[in-house]
Amino acid sequence: MPTSRSGRAPFSGHRIKRKIILALVLSSIIPLMLLTYVLFAYLLPRLDPEQHGAQVTALHALVAFTVLLIAGGLCVIWDVATAVARAAEAAAAARPLGEFEDRLDEVGTLASSLSRMLSTIDQQTSEINAFAARLDTAHNELEVANTRLKNLSFKDDVTGLYNRRLLLFRLEEEISRYLRFNHPAAVVLLDLDGFKDINDSLGHAAGDATLREVGQLLLKHSRGMNVIARYGGDEFAILLVETSKSSARLYAERMRQLVSACAFSHGRRLTASFGIASLPEDATASGDDLLRAADEALYAAKRAGKNVVAGYEPGAAELGTKEKVD
């Protein structure tokens, strides 16, 4: 189990104390002992006391004075090491350092310095935490702004569906996927029959509500992997992923029946015409070519009397069934 920070503090203080004492022993006491040994074992026996009495006395005095100096330094260092250990214990016990700061010796100076250092650390920690909080808030706001910007860039304001820009982007992706993996795809264009009469007689608010209801109908009865977009005006485009032309025709016929049977909020009945184009039968070069083929099929459906599903054919539209509307 990991040791807590408060438990490590006194241990660190005592470890520093031991290191200071060890450094003193290694740097002063042991060299002094070696020097004394060499002096008394080798140097003094070779000196004649009668001839070199003054030198012998001076050497003894030098050794004694050195011992006294080391002893005095040891007392000072011991006092400093003890102060460090006590300061660590005080920090671990969360006790104020004021009781040490009132002292006028080195312990008080060290405690005062340590207290100022801890205060600076606490202040800097608070500033860092505040900055991190502001940074996190800014990051969240940036993500929200990016999401809102993406929605504004790829969503239609009236229906909430994808717009033409996103449709073209996804079309190019599907064409690239077909060229690499030979996966089919189809585009269905839907145009509302008589939508201008809704706008003229009931107003644009009713027209916008109608577009939203058609969009929700398409979303409800389509797979999640398909891309449903408002193509422009009262036209909708549906990109059917992994869908052959025959399956796209079945889908368009089902949508045609749902639109003609839908009870719109304005109380009027409405129909729609559909044009179909697919990969690889009708276009493989670009998304614009596929949309152009679907648009030609849609015009063919309009010429055939509306409320019709038509597939693209070069030079002639392949017409589907037509339903009479009461």
How far is residue 236's CA from residue 275's CA, in Å, rounded to a whole number?
A: 11
Q: Which of 191, 234, 282, 295 is catalytic?
A: 234
* HEC letters along 147-194: HHHHHHHHECCCCCCECHHHHHHHHHHHHHHHHHHCCCEEEEEEEEEC
Task: Quote the tokens at residue 52.
Answer: 């070199």
How far is residue 139's CA from residue 282's CA, in Å, rounded to a whole number?
A: 46
Q: Is 295 a catalytic residue?
A: no
Choose among 324, 325, 326, 294: nearest CA to 310. 294
Mapped onto helix, strand or coil, the DSSP state of residue 284 is coil
What is the edge-to-edge ordering of all strands in the sheet holding 185-193? 227-232, 235-241, 185-193, 271-279, 308-311, 318-322
Per-position b or e across 9-21, b if 16+ CB within 10 A of its CB:
bbeebeebbeebe
- Give the torsion through C-alpha atoms of 203, 309, 304, 263, to 10 deg: -30
Active site residues: 234
